[in-house]
Amino acid sequence: MYREKIKILDCSIRDGGLINNHDFDHRFVRAVFKAVSEAGIDYMEIGYKNSKRLFSPENYGLWKFCDDEDILKVTEGIESKTKISVMVDVDRVNIEDVKPKDQSPVDMIRVACYVKDVDKAISLANHFADKGYETTVNLMAISKILETDLNECFQQLEKECKAEVIYLVDSNGALYQETTEYLVKKAKSMIKSKELGIHAHNNQQLAFGNTIEGIIHGVNYLDCTIFGLGRAAGNCPTELLLGFLKNPKFDIRPVLDVISNEFIPLREKIEWGYIIPYAITGILDEHPRAAMALRNSNKKENYREFYESLIGSDEVE
Amino acid sequence: MYREKIKILDCSIRDGGLINNHDFDHRFVRAVFKAVSEAGIDYMEIGYKNSKRLFSPENYGLWKFCDDEDILKVTEGIESKTKISVMVDVDRVNIEDVKPKDQSPVDMIRVACYVKDVDKAISLANHFADKGYETTVNLMAISKILETDLNECFQQLEKECKAEVIYLVDSNGALYQETTEYLVKKAKSMIKSKELGIHAHNNQQLAFGNTIEGIIHGVNYLDCTIFGLGRAAGNCPTELLLGFLKNPKFDIRPVLDVISNEFIPLREKIEWGYIIPYAITGILDEHPRAAMALRNSNKKENYREFYESLIGSDEVE
């Protein structure tokens, strides 16, 4: 029997944009929005809301900024119940760029932060909540936080934050089922007035498994991307999640079509998925940036040397 | 803290052989044996022991038959504590081909069968046990067995079979964590005098996750293949398992090397891994053979049509 509270958020364009500087054209994003809408997916995250004073539009694609007119170009005319989400990073958004909800095509704003920046995230989330948006706080790199800091963070979110959902984000792709269970149970015991979400990365082929583990322990907001598209190893595949969930409102077929027609050709152009250097950073609980640099070098298949460079050959203390 | 009873069995050559008619050359198999030995892996399964009266050596590679002299060619001169395993299928082996253990380079014989053939498997396993081998029975397609048949099978194995290990084999790649937990707990409650093993397939990117789930619930024999090599979606990747397990005897580095040097080039020639038609057969709990046929046709990326063909468009009853 399905759990009606479960909501899925496809962030193919937002997380995939981290590979190509958010440079998807309108046609591609429209195809994804159509597929996601027909599949019955609850939310689609379309990009970041970054300040154009900090990032020049000359250097990035449209979905680094998510102007309202671009969102309308890819959504108008398509029958859809899918809500639109954008992500903001602390210190990178100009809150003046965000109109009140009733003047915007955006439904939800998700604030991403490291645990150390949770005060900033709460301030932003509360601001956007006051403007009428659904809001979430997405806690990144959740696999590497000291217990005392995590406790303080969860307490603060419960007491001070207006966001409806708190996401645990496994940025490094380092969690296993047992560590996922541990973190979800801890969050659930401390954050009682909100829903929990999970955003898993696939470095160790555990993004889908850890998302299921989240479901088992009461997580109701699930991030996924079509064909796992996303930075480095990518994410929990939307098609697998749709195959697993039992809510009859979901239909896997439009997602299969958009993979055939758009994502198979896309993967000829940009790289993501299960690739050994990303597995190594996941195993070692490190950010994938060193592995991303390796994949852009002429040593891309030198796995042992890369592994040795991360574990270090010098004495340490 | 690590669990000393855990043994890992790399079946790259045996399961990978299902893609290329077991036609790996001596050089390649020797490179794998060297890597597996240096990595501290407990067992390496090198192929099948099939009757040459049933299968002509003209049509298959060496590892369909695993003659002793071929095994010696790929193992001799390499320092190793890794034991050699071969697999037999019921009705396909000529037991006269198998010498007593003390005249053979093989240490373990694994008997693969469907649950309906468990009587035949017990008879074979007992025969090989009497010849001095370590033996296992590997129950295939474990995701689709009626409870009453499974109960009878487990009872029989416990009472009548000399095999030290009973494997649960998720041939269809259809299990999730909860179904894995259910089957492992059931097997553990009924098969008390033997160890349990797990052989997971990766159709839904859950081979590693389900293997971890097995570990959590007491499975001690773990199958894996380097870079996930194996029929269709492939298997639980050896490198991920080594990254996860804490026994200091394991070393991931030789496996990273053999992936760089042998498996990356191999994947240019043969296909395996996360491919949507295999995900679909996994989701639908079907054998991958229809998906394998699709991948050899000119409709290889027609996912929706393939999905529709499996769920059927006619009325059924």
Residue B266 · residue B25 · CB < 8 Å:
no
Nearest to A214 by CA among A203, A201, A229, A199: A199
How confident is the prediction for chain B on average, in pLDDT?
A: 97
Q: Which ipTM did the prediction report?
A: 0.96
A177 contacts B244? CB cut-off 8 A:
no
Residue B78 is given by DSSP the state -
Residue B312: the pLDDT is 84
Question: What chain A residue is nearest to B236 in terms of C-alpha separation?
Answer: A205
Residue A226 · residue A238 · CB < 8 Å:
yes
Count the residues in chain B.
317
Is B301 touching A (CB cutoff 8 A)? yes
Shortest alpha-carbon distance between residue B256 and chain A (Å): 6
Number of cross-chain residue pairs from A and B with Cβ atoms under 8 Å apart: 116
Q: What share of chain A is helix, strand, coil (3-state, %, to 5)?
A: 45, 15, 40
B273 contacts A240? CB cut-off 8 A:
no
Which residue in A202, A212, A257 is closest to B304 by CB distance? A257
Residue A317: the pLDDT is 62
Is B182 touching A (CB cutoff 8 A)? no
Shortest alpha-carbon distance between residue B216 and chain A (Å): 9
Which residue in B204, B257, B273 is closest to A208 by CB distance? B204
A217 contacts in B (CB within 8 Å)?
A: none
Domain boundaries along the sequence of chain A: 7-269, 276-311
Single-letter code of the amino acid located at B312: G
| Residue B203 φ/ψ region, left for φ over 0, alpha for ψ in the -120 to 50 degree band, beta for the rest | alpha
Q: Which of A38, A184, A238, A276 is the best substitution to test chain B (most B C-beta atoms within 10 A)?
A: A276
The string of pLDDT tens digits covering residues B182-219 is 999 999 999 999 999 999 999 999 999 999 999 999 99
Residue B285: the pLDDT is 97
The string of pLDDT tens digits covering residues B34-92 is 999 999 999 999 999 999 999 999 999 999 999 999 999 999 999 999 999 999 999 99
B228 contacts in A (CB within 8 Å)?
A: 274
Q: What is the CATH number of domain B7-267?
A: 3.20.20.70
Kindly provide the b/e burial profile for residues B182-208, where b requires at least 16 CB atoms within 10 angstroms of the residue's own CB. ebbeebbeebeebbbbbbbbbbbbbbb
Is B273 touching A (CB cutoff 8 A)? yes
B202 contacts in A (CB within 8 Å)?
A: 205
The string of pLDDT tens digits covering residues B246-255 is 999 999 999 9
The string of pLDDT tens digits covering residues B266-310 is 999 999 999 999 999 999 999 999 999 999 999 999 999 999 999
A259 contacts in B (CB within 8 Å)?
A: 276, 303
Residue B78 · residue B41 · CB < 8 Å:
no
Q: Three-class SS of residue A21? A: coil
Is B179 touching A (CB cutoff 8 A)? no
Residue A200 · residue A177 · CB < 8 Å:
no
Residue A1: the pLDDT is 86
Is B178 touching A (CB cutoff 8 A)? yes
- Report how far residue B143's alpha carbon sits from residue A222's, in angstroms, rounded to the nearest whole number: 26
Question: Residue A306 to residues A120, A172, B244, B267: CA-CA distances in angstroms?
Answer: 35, 16, 18, 21
Shortest alpha-carbon distance between residue A69 and chain B (Å): 33
B282 contacts in A (CB within 8 Å)?
A: 243
Question: Into which CATH architecture does domain A7-269 fall?
Answer: Alpha-Beta Barrel (3.20)
Strand ranges inside chain A, DSSP E: 7-10, 43-48, 83-89, 108-114, 134-140, 165-170, 195-200, 221-224
Residue A168: the pLDDT is 98
* pLDDT tier at B116, thresholds 50, 70, 90: very high
Residue A189 · residue A196 · CB < 8 Å:
no
Please tell me the pTM assigned to this model.
Answer: 0.97
Query: Along the 317 residues of chain A, how does pLDDT read in single tens digits?
Result: 899 999 999 999 999 999 999 999 999 999 999 999 999 999 999 999 999 999 999 999 999 999 999 999 999 999 999 999 999 999 999 999 999 999 999 999 999 999 999 999 999 999 999 999 999 999 999 999 999 999 999 999 999 999 999 999 999 999 999 999 999 999 999 999 999 999 999 999 999 999 999 999 999 999 999 999 999 999 999 999 999 999 999 999 999 999 999 999 999 999 999 999 999 999 999 999 999 999 999 999 999 999 999 998 666 56
Is A123 touching B (CB cutoff 8 A)? no
Is A178 touching B (CB cutoff 8 A)? yes
Q: Which two tokens stand for residue B25?
A: 């050359």
**Mean per-residue pLDDT, B131-145:** 98
Q: Which two tokens stand for residue A16?
A: 């995939």
A210 contacts B176? CB cut-off 8 A:
no
Contacts of A90 (CB under 8 A, 6+ apart): A111, A112, A113, A117, A120, A121, A124
B176 contacts in A (CB within 8 Å)?
A: 212, 244
Does position B313 have pLDDT exceeding 70, yes or no?
Answer: no
